[in-house]
Amino acid sequence: SASPSSLKIFLTSHHILNPTVLLALILLGLLTAVVSFFMDLAIQELQYLRLFFIQTSSEILNMGIWIIFCIVLCELAVFITSYLSKDAEGSGIPEMKAILSGVKLRNFMSYKTFFAKIIGVVFAIGGGLSIGREGPFVHISGIIATHISKIPIFSHIHSNLTLKNQFLAAAVAAGIASVFECPIGGVLYSIEVTSTYYIVSNMWRAAFCSIWCAIGIIWLREIGQMKVINSTDFPDVGLDLEIFSFIILGCLCGLLGALFINITSRLISLKEQNIYPMLYGRYRYTLLICIICAVVTFLTNYMRLNDMAVINDMFHSTFSEHGWDDYNLPFALLVFGICKFLLTSLSLSCHIPAGVLYPLLAAGAVFGRLFQQLASLVFTSDRHGVYAAVGAASLVSATTHTISVAVIVFEFTGQIHYFLPMIVSVLIAYTVSSSLTLSIYDAFLEIKG
């Protein structure tokens, strides 16, 4: 009775092995890696440059330079984005979801949007706004995929709508994978954020593309000596009473995630309603946000760190550098958490390309570490980093309504044996948040209409 279906699967799996499709996937993976690497490099150089400029003897002068530097870069980001292509604004993940479910968006995949998105996100992050680059990068890899499929030898991909969509879905996976070096998490995350129904045989394609992308980015980062992610060495985590502590962490992250979606949506809605016209010009609004971000990041050492450095710090059991211990630790964590939370929300409401994953991972990691300070009153284990990892994944899970972010964090840390507290907390955060609100991507789609 099942022969026709197995025959179909058989043919489908042979279809996968079409050499031009394989070649297209390899090309997509590697190109995505190259673009991602040079974006990273540009952001890093801008961040170095910013620190280089503030070496004068006067703190006030330094602060002035810092703020002006940020303003210039952010306004440039807004200008270039709006000049080249307004489609480049925002995350890109909600739009990719719309495209993959069949909505046609004009200009969304143009070269202009490509450059607008890259330059916009590089300048905005370089200018100190608290945004991530994984959402925009999903859009960028989608554009790369579209243009690869237009190359004559790959024309059968472009002409076959199913295959074209699967190729785009692979691009989404590669986009995530290239940012976090997480091919498996990338595939799963891309499924969760872009699909309602998923064709399982397509998972192969997405994984194939992601792994080429991961190989490319790991190799490039090794050459460029850009060490992004440190493996962790968490102690063994079994099943014990401390699981209750992670349950509470999951609940809190779920509430925080819902709060974050709420605040951000309101900020954007307020802007759309245009109540205070003086405030809400494209450039004026960014100016305001940019100054807030610049002042806050200048005043505290640890707010100047990029998100990845914060995540690495939090995931380790001792704070080796970056001066976290110079202050009262819980106080520093609290300040950072609140600032990061609010600055990210503000930054997302600007007219720039912006992702949410990176800053929220950082905020979640800090929050998890802060929670650990409380939990250590009851449980005296040495699981400092585990709390940070679980907190990071839970906050993102609550905000984006995904479970697979847990896998991204597993790939981050190189360990998976703490899956029990991780999955428990992530599922609870997901449940709490999804019973309160839409995911941030769907909320954005709803505001945009």
For binding to a second copy (CB under 8 A), which residues are involved? 1-3, 5-6, 9-10, 13-14, 16-17, 94, 97-98, 101, 103, 183-184, 188, 191-192, 195-201, 203-204, 207-208, 211, 214-215, 218-219, 222, 231, 236, 238-239, 243, 401, 403, 406-407, 410-411, 413-417, 419-420, 423-424, 427, 430-431, 434-435, 438-439, 442, 445-446, 448-449
Provide the terminal-to-terminal Cα distance of the chain, rounded to the nearest Å: 46
**Which residue is associated with the tokens 């916009």?**
120
Partners of 132 in the β-ladder = 355
- Provide, rounded to whole angstroms, the least separation between the CB of residue 204 and a second copy: 6
CB atoms within 10 A of CB 239: 8
Answer yes or no: are the C-beta atoms of 365 and 311 closer than 8 Å: yes
Q: Which residue, 150 or 448, is less far from a second copy as judged by CB?
A: 448
Nearest approach, Cβ of 296 to a second copy (angstroms)?
33
Rounded to whole angstroms, the Cα distance separating 84 from 143 reads 15
What one-character DSSP code corresponds to residue 301?
Answer: G
Least Cα distance to 15 among 151, 158, 153, 163 occurs for: 163
Among 137, 180, 123, smallest CA distance to 312 is for 180
- The residue among 137 and 410 lying less far from a second copy, judged by its C-beta, is 410
Cα separation, 92 vs 135, in Å, equals: 6
Q: Which is nearer to a second copy, 310 or 432 (CB)?
A: 432
The nearest distance, CB 175 to a second copy, in angstroms, is 17
Answer whether 246's CB lies under 8 Å from 429's CB: no
Given the complex with a second copy, which of 215 and 329 has the nearer CB atom?
215
What is the C-alpha to C-alpha distance for residues 82 and 5, in angstroms, rounded to an integer? 50
Residue 183 or 391 having the CB closest to a second copy? 183
**Would you say 238 or 323 has its CB closer to a second copy?**
238
94 or 126, CB closer to a second copy? 94
CA 263 to CA 282: how far, in whole Å? 20
Nearer to a second copy, 40 or 75 (CB): 40
* Shortest Å distance, C-beta 9 to a second copy: 6
Query: Smallest distance from the beta carbon of 131 to a second copy, in angstroms?
Result: 22
Fill in the DSSP letter of residue 276. Answer: S
Q: How far is the CB of 103 from a second copy (least distance, A)?
A: 6
Rg (CA), the chain: 22
Q: Is 378 exposed, middle or buried (0-12, 13-18, 19+ CB in 10 A)?
A: exposed
In whole angstroms, how close is the CB of 291 to a second copy at the nearest point? 34
Minimum CB distance to a second copy, residue 387 (Å): 18
